[in-house]
Chains A and B, each alone.
Chain A
């Protein structure tokens, strides 16, 4: 194969300084990020895998995971499709096809995305993309919200649901502590058929391309993981479509943080614009209220003035009427008196006439 162990260790020595130098992590932000330079990955050539489960055994051992119910040399477990779980960072599944010459075996584990959905989703930064290429989990920060599991498009992170006090998210670490010591990841070291090749991701892509070019009839022309979800540190070569091997080909090339960066970017603007808008609405409502109040008061004042004016007028009229009335009463009284006097006089006269009449 193209990459020997010696070459590999040479790269690692060269990359060592860079890998360990502190830097600003650009993973899990909205910016496009094409991976840390010199970061590592693994190329899984599905055509070479024989389903021996030695990688599973090595993974279990180097990560101190609990022993499984059935031993790793029991290949009968391959009859059923298995998924990653809290006690297995990697599983190999068998895919049988009627037309093909034999079954195909696919190893599953964390793909170590260049811009990990899990890391961008973690609200305590318990997950981060390391310069080595590994997506690293820090259990001492984890709250256990499991949003990383929602976010992961590959259904990788598993959770220790049965632990009451120290439940952890469990997933492949790319053997990040071993890489730092200059060792190979457990699974890669154990693979007897070189179905797994560890190296710098850039080199692995070239190597994969070389294999496809050399044997175009053997491989589909697709390096799975080169662009999926913005690219992953694990890369896959397959003799047939990846979707027929349980790997989703509809994920797209967009890195996960790109789906959320818009919603996040709106926040500060929404707060600022919202505060201005709401204060403005309040001010308008208040002003309108003030105007309504002023108008009401003006109307009241006007009505009152009007009423007063009317009242005055009415009073004047009444006074006039009263004066007139009084005048007329006086007049009437005078007339009455005069009339009475006249009547009296008239009465006196005929009375005298009567007296004279009686006498006659």
Chain B
């Protein structure tokens, strides 16, 4: 963090050798080498995937966490355009940008993970396996990425000075937002529903016929927390790009989002309890797996919910921001628990999966690409400020 901040302070100077650029450059260089190995040697050359664990870190983190944490896009735009909460307006563009980049990177990561990435359009255009939850995920991710791209274009078009095209797209905002929320609802939930087909492999504390609902509801507070967390970083490193309007609104956004997140998290905890009751899984709570489940539910949902509530009541921005990071980690923990930790829980320890350093390397590479792209766009396009030419029309 210190390094990145230093690098941004030096941004005015023409030097390319800032610490941020050096670190990002090294990760990207290593990532490119790993990319070559992956696509010439096959999955086996870089991953620890095996017969029992066909889905590893790239699905557990890059796909499941990536999509959940990009939920800020639909949450913020729905709040602003559908629920008419105009005071969140300045938070919409950063959230849409994050969501767009998030989804784009999810799709990029999938190219690494599937065996024949050039066939990724098959499920949509060539041979539709409609009985598969993965088909629903594929269709929704494809459509939603398109929607996010269109939602993002006004910023790019303003930057490029293409007024007519920009005004045309802005008129579609409501339809796009409704479409985006529907698509998000579907595939956030269907990512959870992917695991419904494997009740014999996922631990009963995490397996539930409500899994789809759990994924959807948790994506809501994941998105809200991510907007707060990301705005914290932006305030630190991209403050000079923000206009008064953005800065003025941002505290209110953080406080309101914290309040909403805490409310949804409490609801989520009750839903989890209903899930336990429905399958009568209470007796598992006294096992080691139960302890781990409670760590997730109490340590990473109940406590952040409490601190969000305290933070929003006392208008304590510092507390809210740290809690946002905490809640984001909680979501990562939940997705990894479902996809990796509690999956194949009956296998003996020596047959369990642990990612190779190269899988971690590719994941870091993809996250770094996201950060670099975000910075590139946010320092050039009107993301944190309103373009002077369009100030009047912005509010519609």
Q: What residues of chain A have their CB less than 8 Å away from a CB belonging to chain B?
A: 28-30, 83-85, 117, 119-126, 141-147, 149-151, 153, 155, 158-168, 248, 250-252, 256-257, 259-260, 262-264, 266-267, 270-271, 274-275, 278-279, 281-282, 285-286, 288-289
Establish whether residues B129 and A122, one from each chain, have CB atoms under 8 Å apart when the complex forms: yes
Establish whether residues A29 and B127, one from each chain, have CB atoms under 8 Å apart when the complex forms: no
Establish whether residues A145 and B82, one from each chain, have CB atoms under 8 Å apart when the complex forms: no
The majority secondary structure among interface residues of chain B is: helix
Establish whether residues B129 and A281, one from each chain, have CB atoms under 8 Å apart when the complex forms: no
Establish whether residues B115 and A84, one from each chain, have CB atoms under 8 Å apart when the complex forms: no
Residues of B close to A163: CB separation below 8 A: 42, 115
Establish whether residues B42 and A164, one from each chain, have CB atoms under 8 Å apart when the complex forms: yes
Whole-angstrom distance between the Cβ of B213 and the nearest chain A Cβ:
10
The number of inter-chain residue pairs (CB within 8 angstroms) is 176
Q: What residues of chain B have their CB less than 8 Å away from a CB belonging to chain A?
A: 39-45, 47, 49-52, 54-55, 78, 81-84, 113-117, 119-120, 122-123, 126-129, 131-136, 138, 174, 178, 181-182, 185-186, 189-190, 193-201, 209, 212
- Known contacts A124-B127, A282-B84; 18 additional CB pairs below 8 A are A120-B131, A121-B133, A141-B122, A142-B119, A145-B115, A146-B115, A158-B51, A163-B42, A164-B40, A166-B116, A167-B43, A259-B209, A260-B133, A260-B197, A264-B131, A278-B182, A286-B84, A288-B84
13 A-B pairs, CB-CB below 8 angstroms? A119-B131, A120-B131, A122-B132, A125-B127, A142-B116, A144-B119, A147-B194, A163-B115, A166-B116, A260-B197, A263-B133, A263-B212, A278-B82
Residues of A close to B126: CB separation below 8 A: 124, 141
Cα–Cα, bound, A144→B112 (Å) = 11
Q: In the complex, which of the residues A146, A252, A267 contacts B136, with contact meaning CB atoms closer than 8 Å?
A: A267
Cα–Cα, bound, A248→B346 (Å) = 11
Cα–Cα, bound, A267→B174 (Å) = 22
Whole-angstrom distance between the Cβ of A205 and the nearest chain B Cβ:
23
Cα–Cα, bound, A125→B128 (Å) = 7
Cα–Cα, bound, A285→B123 (Å) = 38
Please give me the residue from chain A that is nearest to B122 by CB atom: A124
Residues of B close to A151: CB separation below 8 A: 197-198
Q: In the complex, which of the residues B44, B194, B209 contacts A161, with contact meaning CB atoms closer than 8 Å?
A: B44
Cα–Cα, bound, A3→B123 (Å) = 43
Whole-angstrom distance between the Cβ of B263 and the nearest chain A Cβ:
17
Whole-angstrom distance between the Cβ of B156 and the nearest chain A Cβ:
26
Residues of B close to A155: CB separation below 8 A: 51-52
